[in-house]
């Protein structure tokens, strides 16, 4: 019997994944543990390994398709085996279990998990059968992705060729109200191409030109999370300036003596770790009616990619030297840019540092990365003339912007925390000893 390949749930927050690339094609031999395909999860690209050996007899979900977790994306079986035979066999086993009173729910779950049918309420399944609607074509609106009656009633069972349906799904087109140019109104490839052309046409507004791109993948995840953070959190941003002239000198000396190159951001990460250890009220998360104070300091570092922002996490930063922090930061940022981060590299953050200094930004308002309670923005280093005694000196000044959740952190507490980071950056030997 064929084994289903499902979209894995790589993390509690993951609800769907995108098929990026199949490493095998239908008919290819597959070995257990061998990379089978690449998917995009919660801002992370990861490889899915084959859970069994055999032949990839069916690819259900194509590259570019977005698939709810636990849904079937392919089948591995024996050469010549038909997926339909597998489904029929499983249906017979499930019906037998149900007839023996082993539980309708258990039987349905087994059936749906293995053959790739969407979970559906009994009423929704009954109506779908009456209307001859394929439930696998419907995306459920239930809390766990299950199909409800309204989902079935709102779905129009359109007549469409497989290629046209794939094109429509890849481009997220609504085909429910379409009438195709094929026989008896069937939607064909040319109909989808015409609709795509209309979407890309210039708007009939004098003087305006623009193009459209669907909000999906990393961009969609970022949009959802940023909006959620903005709506749910009463945030406050404080700005300060740190004189990093001495830090600049020490950094230059260290980089001549050690085998790695320390960046300014490495020093900021170290200062944040030290300050969080002193002020555990900032290393916290609001969970319902409780505030959770985290013992471990895990600092997220925002990394800009071509299509969005990703935040790998340096775990246990409170026990790391500046050299270890630098090594880990370089490792994570490299993996992020190469698309090699694993889900474990992204979870567990308790505080985030976002550095826009390289873009000459002197002040900004970073948005909190939930469920954390604070984020530090790092700005450009500028030269300023300052009076020292009777002398005017050129000093190097770094801008700092701290955004925090006012439900968890009071204004004075946030100011004291930010001042501590400023002090550490102005006296770097204190955090290096």
Write the pLDDT tens digit of every residue in 146-200.
Answer: 777 767 766 666 677 878 877 877 776 766 656 777 777 788 888 888 777 766 5
Q: What is the pLDDT of residues 24-42, one digit of tens each?
A: 999 999 998 889 998 887 6
Range 6-33 average pLDDT = 85
Q: Where are the alpha helices (DSSP H) in 100-161?
A: 104-115, 122-130, 149-154
Q: Which residues contact 38 (CB under 8 A, 6 or more apart)?
A: 20, 21, 23, 45, 46, 47, 48
Q: Which residues contact 186 (CB under 8 A, 6 or more apart)?
A: 159, 160, 161, 180
User: Which pLDDT score is estimated for 96?
Assistant: 42
User: Which pLDDT score is estimated for 174?
Assistant: 64
Range 214-237 average pLDDT = 86
User: Which pLDDT score is estimated for 106?
Assistant: 43
97 pLDDT band (50/70/90 cuts)?
Answer: very low
- 3-152: CATH topology is OB fold (Dihydrolipoamide Acetyltransferase, E2P) (2.40.50)
Considering only residues 300 and 79, tell me which one the structure prediction assigns the higher pLDDT.
300
Q: Examine the pLDDT at 390 and tell me if it is beyond 50.
A: yes
Considering only residues 73 and 117, tell me which one the structure prediction assigns the higher pLDDT.
73
Annotated catalytic residues are 406, 410
**CB environment 126-154: b (16+ within 10 A), e (fewer):** ebbeeeebebeebebeeeebebbbebbee
Domain positions in the chain: 3-152, 158-214, 218-432
> In this structure, are strands 299-301 and 351-355 parallel, antiparallel, or unpaired?
parallel
Q: Examine the pLDDT at 3 and tell me if it is beyond 90.
A: no
Mean pLDDT across the chain, nearest whole number? 83
CATH number for the domain formed by residue range(s) 158-214: 4.10.320.10
User: Which pLDDT score is estimated for 211?
Assistant: 74
Q: What is the pLDDT of residues 213-225, one digit of tens each?
A: 777 777 888 888 8
Three-state DSSP class for 257?
helix
Q: Which CATH class is domain 218-432?
A: alpha beta
User: Which pLDDT score is estimated for 116?
Assistant: 43
2 pLDDT band (50/70/90 cuts)?
Answer: confident
Three-state DSSP class for 334?
helix
Considering only residues 42 and 301, tell me which one the structure prediction assigns the higher pLDDT.
301
- Alpha-carbon distance 353 to 220, whole Å? 22
């Amino acid at each position: 019997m064929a084994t289903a390949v499902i979209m894995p749930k790589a993390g509690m927050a993951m609800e769907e994944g995108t098929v990026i690339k199949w490493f095998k094609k239908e008919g290819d031999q597959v070995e257990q543990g061998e990379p089978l395909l690449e998917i995009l999860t919660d801002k992370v690209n990861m490889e899915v390994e084959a859970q069994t050996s055999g032949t990839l007899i069916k690819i259900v979900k194509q590259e570019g398709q977005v698939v709810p977790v636990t849904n079937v994306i392919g089948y591995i079986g024996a050469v010549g085996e038909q997926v339909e035979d597998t489904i029929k066999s499983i249906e017979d086993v499930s019906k037998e279990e149900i007839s023996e009173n082993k539980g309708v729910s258990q039987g349905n779950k087994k059936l749906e998990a293995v053959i790739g049918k969407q979970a559906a309420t009994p009423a929704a399944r009954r109506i779908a059968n009456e209307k001859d609607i394929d439930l696998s074509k419907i995306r459920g609106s239930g809390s766990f992705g299950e199909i409800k009656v309204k989902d079935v009633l709102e779905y129009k069972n359109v007549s469409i060729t497989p290629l046209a349906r794939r094109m429509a799904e890849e481009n997220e087109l609504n085909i429910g109200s379409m009438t195709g140019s094929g026989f008896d109104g069937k939607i064909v490839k040319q109909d989808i191409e015409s609709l795509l052309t209309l979407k890309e046409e210039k708007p009939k507004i004098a003087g305006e030109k623009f193009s459209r791109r669907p909000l999906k993948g990393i961009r969609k995840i970022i949009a959802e999370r940023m909006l959620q953070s903005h709506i749910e959190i009463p945030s406050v941003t404080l700005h300060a300036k740190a004189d990093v002239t001495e830090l600049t000198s020490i950094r230059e000396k260290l980089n001549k003596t050690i085998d790695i190159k320390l960046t300014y951001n490495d020093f900021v990460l170290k200062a944040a770790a030290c300050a969080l250890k002193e002020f555990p009220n900032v290393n916290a998360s609001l969970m319902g009616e409780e505030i959770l104070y985290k013992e471990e300091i895990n600092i997220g570092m925002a990394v800009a990619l071509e299509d969005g922002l990703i935040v790998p996490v340096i775990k246990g930063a409170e026990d790391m030297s500046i050299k270890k922090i630098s090594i880990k930061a370089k490792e994570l940022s490299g993996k992020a840019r190469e698309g090699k981060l694993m889900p474990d590299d992204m979870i567990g953050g308790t505080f985030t540092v976002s550095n826009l200094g390289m873009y000459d930004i002197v002040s900004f308002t970073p948005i909190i990365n939930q469920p954390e309670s604070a984020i530090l923005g790092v700005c450009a280093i500028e030269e300023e003339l300052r009076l020292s005694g009777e002398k005017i000196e050129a000093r190097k000044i770094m801008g700092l912007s701290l955004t925090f959740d006012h439900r968890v952190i009071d204004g004075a507490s946030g100011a004291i925390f930010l001042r501590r980071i400023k002090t550490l950056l102005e006296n770097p030997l204190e955090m290096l000893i």
